[in-house]
Structure 1
Amino acid sequence: MSDFKQLRIERPIDDGQALTDDDIYWGPLSSSHPTTLREYGPVTTIDIAPTRQQWISITDSTRVQIYSPDTLSLVRSFYSFKDTAYCGTFRSDGRLVCAGSKDGIVRVFDFETRTQLRHFKEHQGSPVHCTHFSRDKTYIFTGSDDRTVRVLDLATEKQLSKFDHVHTDYVRALTPGSATNPHLLLSGSYDRTMKLIDRRMSNNDNILMNFDHGDQIESVLMYANETLAITAGGLYLKVWDLLGGGRLLASLSNHHKSILCTGFTSEQNYILSGGLDRHVKIYDASTFRVVHTITYPDAVLSLAMIGPNDRALCVGMPGGLWSVKRRDGSQQISNSSSTIGITNGYESMKIDSNSDMMCTSNSLVPIDDESTNDTKSTASSGSRKTKSRRRFFPSGIVTPTTMDPVASANRRPRLAPYDNYLRKFRASAALDAAFTSALKRRQPDIVLALFKELSRRQMLKQALAGRDDLSLLKILRYLQKHIAHTTYMPVLIEVAHIISHLYDFSSSPSDKNNKAMEKLQRTIHDELQFQLELMKTKGAIEIILAASSSSTLLETNSTTNHNCNNNNSTVISAM
């Protein structure tokens, strides 16, 4: 007996929404299942090391965590903070990490040894929310709630500059200049302004440009070539022309709640923004239009893109969760088949069974000399480790190797409930199961595919006949919602025609069915009127085009005749 051919579900494309190059580029990243880890507090900052390893820095609670981008295993932890830590960022060579804190102390750590090398107390008493290394690797730019921007020297552990007249409110955003201009920086504040500062100038002349954002600024960005700057805060993301004297190029308001963070892709071809509306908006950097949107389960506090080719997007949320979406869709941590379940993520994370690993309440921690000295972890009681897949032989348990021939089991695929009913020729039960699956998966195209299959088998009338009021109401509401869709229309018109002949709604005891049928009739009537107006408009346009082409042809003929007459008169005069 041949295998049953399963129902083929076609995914219709909405009218006027053909796939663009941006949809094709961002679709795999958006549709991939995220890997999610939980930290102790809100993930306020995510930074990617600008090195080959591309370590992920996660700032939450009183610590800065460093993760591997491939396995998402914990690599380093910095716990020297007595209060909430902010803005853990890498230096351009990846060898140092700096972070501010709520107690106002700025700390600098060695990445390899995890030793605290420097601590600056100039902001002590005021939270430091912004810390960034200069591009020449010698200074740290800081912004604090004491309304000052400071330049700290790594070599001498002293303050070089203090700009206390730049802003009149909390400084919450900083970005340094490029490697060619390491003395420049952009600062954004809750006083609604962004300032371009030159640290070499005197205290009264160091503000080169002043930009009025119009709302409290949460994030600022600068292009690598220092031609454009971006401010984000409130409902607006604004683009400023630095070379053009600071003029406003674009004001974007695609979020319906406050924007909290921004970022670039690896090649700065796209701009990312996240906010309280749980959305990450992706803008084309040339047209400043939204090309894609990704939705998250909570507000987006921080984000960062892992390159090259924008292979993964990291997003931090206020509940302590941070997720990683990968472009290739693979969430595999290692090649082993053993798993450790993480109850706080979207899916299980796989870990190599041969390596010594243990699961903490917040992440996966490798047991080695460096991690155990700094992190005290215990095995989670809720985690379960499943055994590797083994073959049972009379001689004992054997795990096949790549060289062993293994016979593949020819198992039939598991059928969906509606496929099982179709296999037994139970058309009415198959239709009920399709509605259940479509409601559960939010995929109305399952019902459409089943209608097509029943029509092909000439079982559509059998499936629709003899229904109670509740099941009939589901079908009527489905018709009312989708019959005007061009993809659904040819099939659903046949379904509506059969229902109108099978049931007498004038004598139906159910008022809901009568109202649903009246709404369906109005929907069909409105669609017919719309199509009639479209045909009238099409006819008028065709008449205009025909008249235009005929007038053009007459003008061409008259011009040709005029030229011929001129040529003839010229020949006659010459004779």
Structure 2
Amino acid sequence: MADESHVAKTFPTKPRLKPSSKKPNRTPEFKYWKSFKTQEISGLVSSVTSIDFSPQPPHHFAATHSVSLSLFNPYHPFSPTEPISTISAFKDIAYSASFRSDGKLLAAGGESGIVQVFETKSRTRLRQLKGHSRPVRLAKYPRIDRLHLFSGGDDALVKHWDVATETCLCDFLGHKDYVRSGSPSPVDDNLFATGSYDHTVRVWDIRVSNSGSGLGSCAMVVNHGKPVEDVVFLPSGGLLATAGGNVVKIWDLIGGGKRVYSMESHNKTVTSICVGKVGRHSGEESDQYRLMSVSLDGYLKAVDYSKQKITFSMRFPAPLLSVGFSPDCLTRVIGTSNGIIYMGTRKKDRVEEAAEDDFIGFHYREEPRKRALRPPSFRYFHRGQSEKPREGEYLILRPKKVKLAEHDKLLKKFRHKDALVAALRKKDPEHVVAVMEELIARKMLFKCVLNSDSEGLELLLAFLQRYTTVPRYGSLLMPFANKVIQSRAQDIRAFDALKGDVEVPKNGEGARYN
């Protein structure tokens, strides 16, 4: 008899041919993006054409939609999805909201061809910059300069404005089609880039101009190859990202406009891109930047341009037109073509929450300390049951009770024939083959066949008839089936129920199944 202590370790019998399922790899980057809790802001009627965050805390964001410009506070304690203020001073569709560096002024273009400047707090219109003959899709403040801004429109003109006097200081000529996007340099207020439907992106330097003519000159031109929908400088100032068609490209300006990266993972036109500093509170991923792109295919993609790979992708149920990421890395906002804003927020640290509450008129109050548990209490003896193990601690788990199937219980009692019949009754080929392999290891399979009654023999022949020709089991069942037919030929002839299953061989011929 086999050693029981050795045999008991083999239970339960497991099928070897069943593929093991693999869980997807959850990287720290994936967990970071999944930590954003998404909320819908609806009721904006029309497409959300642009999104911009205030550079100053608490980092409100502005969204242009239809003939309005709305401001939102994503950390409002009561209604973060309701606008804190709305500016409706546009005669037609509003485009390209842009905060000044101090967050006190807000500029926006429009279908009427006028660039308007508003005071953020009072919503008062302070200036109207008139000079474009077609819709203005681009209006941006420089990085620090509070007195000037640049604009671009469907008239293919790029203008540099003195906001205080409402005068155009310089016209930049060179584009031959609609100017739809632009970005100020993050390191030099004299540089900015614009993208056009003429497939080119031009970098302008306001210091290089024809004296007395009021015309500026282009410092560099790169050809994107398709109509340019958006342009953004990367934080170093030496790289420029462009979006057009279904392609996002990165250019090295210091190296003379050389293309260093191209991403073609979107299926439709990429409508907007932005750069965000991610992982401020996620350990090793801190102080790294990602380039985010949205497209008409409904996908948001985050690109680690230092490693030139996509680190995260997420789909939304509508074409996406605009995207923005807050400077504090806690808010991600996406605008769609059907007037819905998807706002994703992360939890703040307690210190940041306290400062925010003081700003809006609330005061931070610490939670009361929990009372110490004493030995007489019931909870004292159950403390720590829900605690998770910390690094360096050893976790001792209770052995889980294994639930055995009927054939496993019979194998444990060395009832080999009954175990084979029980597995055959279940009609699960993987478990039947597993039991056969166990019986082969114990050298008991052929004895079970010789000692089986008519019911067991009928079940075995029915199983062999069905699964012997299956490639997964053929190498084991083919030779076994021949031995079964040869050894039990007289029994098969004696029972009428078995004659229809197989044709008994004559004088060493192979078995033939009907």
| Corresponding letter in the other structure for 1:235 | N
The aligned residue for residue 178 of structure 2 is 170
- Please say which of residues 27-36 and 44-53 is displaced more in the overlay: 27-36
CA-CA distance at 1:29 after TM superposition: 2.9
The aligned residue for residue 286 of structure 1 is 306
Q: Is the 8 A contact 1:43 1:316 kept in 2?
A: yes
Structure 2 residue 237 is the aligned partner of structure 1 residue 226: yes
What SS class does the counterpart of residue 218 from structure 1 fall into?
strand
Q: Is the 8 A contact 1:30 1:294 kept in 2?
A: no
The aligned residue for residue 102 of structure 1 is 111
The aligned residue for residue 402 of structure 2 is 456
| Corresponding letter in the other structure for 1:194 | V
State which of 302, 317, 330 in structure 1 corresponds to 2:336: 317
Percent of matched pairs sharing the same residue? 28
Q: Is the 8 A contact 2:55 2:327 kept in 1?
A: no
Structure 2 residue 55 is the aligned partner of structure 1 residue 35: no
CA-CA distance at 1:457 after TM superposition: 2.2
| Corresponding letter in the other structure for 1:61 | S
Change (3 A) 1:90 1:280: same
Higher helix share: 1
Q: Is the 8 A contact 1:268 1:285 kept in 2?
A: no
State which of 17, 22, 28 in structure 2 corresponds to 1:24: 28
Change (3 A) 1:225 1:130: same
Q: Counterparts of 1:524 and 1:66 in 2: how far apart (Å)?
A: 67
When Rg is computed on C-alpha atoms for both structures, the one with the higher figure is: 2
Change (3 A) 1:259 1:112: same
Q: Counterparts of 2:112 and 2:274 in 1: how far apart (Å)?
A: 27
State which of 94, 116, 126 in structure 2 corresponds to 1:85: 94
Q: What's the C-alpha RMSD, in Å, of the aligned pairs?
A: 4.2
State the Cα deviation string for residues 271-291 of structure 1 (Å, max 9, x = none): 111112211111113112111
Structure 2 residue 198 is the aligned partner of structure 1 residue 191: yes
CA-CA distance at 1:107 after TM superposition: 0.7
Change (3 A) 1:254 1:14: farther
Q: Counterparts of 1:525 and 1:104 in 2: how far apart (Å)?
A: 77
Change (3 A) 1:458 1:110: same
The aligned residue for residue 123 of structure 2 is 114
Q: Is the 8 A contact 2:140 2:150 kept in 1?
A: yes
Q: Counterparts of 2:91 and 2:338 in 1: how far apart (Å)?
A: 21
Q: Counterparts of 1:196 and 1:525 in 2: how far apart (Å)?
A: 70
The aligned residue for residue 206 of structure 1 is 217
How many corresponding residue pairs? 364
Change (3 A) 1:457 1:130: same
The aligned residue for residue 45 of structure 1 is 50
CA-CA distance at 1:198 after TM superposition: 1.2
| Corresponding letter in the other structure for 1:93 | D
| Corresponding letter in the other structure for 1:131 | A
The aligned residue for residue 135 of structure 2 is 127
Q: Counterparts of 1:506 and 1:182 in 2: how far apart (Å)?
A: 86
State the Cα deviation string for residues 174-210 of structure 1 (Å, max 9, x = none): 00123x5212110001111100111232257611111
The aligned residue for residue 235 of structure 1 is 246
Q: Which runs of 5+ in 2 are unaligned?
A: 1-19, 278-286, 354-359, 361-366, 372-378, 380-399, 409-425, 436-455, 476-514
Q: Which runs of 5+ in 1 are unaligned?
A: 1-11, 335-354, 356-400, 411-452, 463-474, 480-491, 509-513, 527-575
Q: Counterparts of 2:201 and 2:192 in 1: how far apart (Å)?
A: 10
Give the TM-score, by structure 2 length. Answer: 0.62
Q: Counterparts of 1:52 and 1:460 in 2: how far apart (Å)?
A: 66
State which of 228, 246, 249 in structure 1 corresponds to 2:257: 246
State which of 72, 78, 85 in structure 2 corresponds to 1:67: 72
Q: Is the 8 A contact 1:91 1:97 kept in 2?
A: yes
The aligned residue for residue 433 of structure 1 is none
